[in-house]
Amino acid sequence: MGIPVPTRNRSYWLAAVFALLACAALLVDVPLSRYAATHSLVGDLRKVLDVSEVFAHGLGVLLILVTAAVLDPMRRPRLPRVAACAYGAGLVANLLKHFIPRIRPNAFDTTADVWTTFLSWRVPDVGSIDVLGRSAVQSFPSGHTATAVGLAFGLTWLYPRGRWLFASFAVLAALQRIQSSAHFLSDTLAAAAIGCVVSGWILRDSSVGRWIAAREAAGWRRGAGLVRPEV
C-alpha cells in the first residue's frame, strides 16, 4: 500500500485554523495560565504529561527515529524526511522567538493584561531580557509543540494507521507545555500552525520535498536487501 502524500492545501487550511484559534486563545491565555500555576495535576495524569515531552524534545525525536530505523529498515530511507518535518518545524518556531519576545507564564504576573506578555512586536526590550533572562522571554511560539506537530505529520506520512495516535501524542506534548507554565495556550496553537505549514512544504514532492525525494531514491538504490514499498 502506498504512502499518502498530504495535499499542501489541506496542510495550509489546517494551519489557518490553528492560527485563528491562537488569536482567539489570547482571550483565555492569562486565566488559563493562572489556573495551571495554582492547580497541579497529580498521579498518573501528571506522569503521562511529563512523559509526553519526549515526543516534542529534540533528543526524544532522535530516539524515536532510531527506533523506527531499527524496527523498520524497509522504510529507513524515508526517515530523513520525517526528521526534517520535526526539526524543521522546531527550528522555524525557535527563530520566531527572537522576533516576537513574549514572557513565559512562569515569569509573568498573571494579574496583568495579556498584551503585557509581549515585550515588543519588533525590537526586544533589552532591559527586560537582562532582568528576566533570555529564555524567560521566548514563550512565543512553542518550539516543543511545533516539533511535536511536525513529528506527528511525518510519522503519519510514514505510518498512516497511526495518525490518531501520533496526533494524540502531539496534543499531550502541547498540554504539558501549558501545564508546566512554560507556554500560553496561544503559543502552542501558533506552533501547531507552524508545524502544519513546514510539514506540508516538506512532504510535498516539490521544492525541498523534491530534493529530499531524490535523496530517498538514492537511498533505495544503495540499500541492499531492502524492498521498496509501493508509492
Residue 3 belongs to a domain: no
Structural domain count, the chain? 1
Q: Which amino acid is at 141?
A: P
Q: Cβ distance 149 to 92 under 8 Å?
A: no
What's residue 58's pLDDT?
94
Length of the chain: 231
Residue 96 belongs to a domain: yes
Unique residue bearing C-alpha cell 503585557: 116
Q: For residue 115, what are the domain limits?
A: 8-220
Sign of the Cα pseudo-torsion (92, 97, 100, 102, in order): positive
Residue 230 belongs to a domain: no
Residue 1 belongs to a domain: no
Q: How far is CA 36 from the centre of its chain?
A: 21
What's residue 222's pLDDT?
56
What's residue 226's pLDDT?
47
Q: Is 228 helix (H, G, I), strand (E, B) or coil?
A: coil
Residue 141 belongs to a domain: yes
Residue 166 belongs to a domain: yes
DSSP single-letter state for residue 54: G
What's residue 151's pLDDT?
97
Residue 225 belongs to a domain: no
Q: Which amino acid is at 1?
A: M
What's residue 225's pLDDT?
45
What's residue 191's pLDDT?
98
Mean pLDDT by 10 residues, the chain (231 residues): 51 93 96 88 84 94 97 92 95 93 88 85 52 77 97 95 96 95 96 96 71 61 47 35
Q: Cβ distance 186 to 29 under 8 Å?
A: yes
Residue 140 belongs to a domain: yes
What's residue 208's pLDDT?
61
The whole-angstrom separation of Cα 93 and Cα 15 is 14
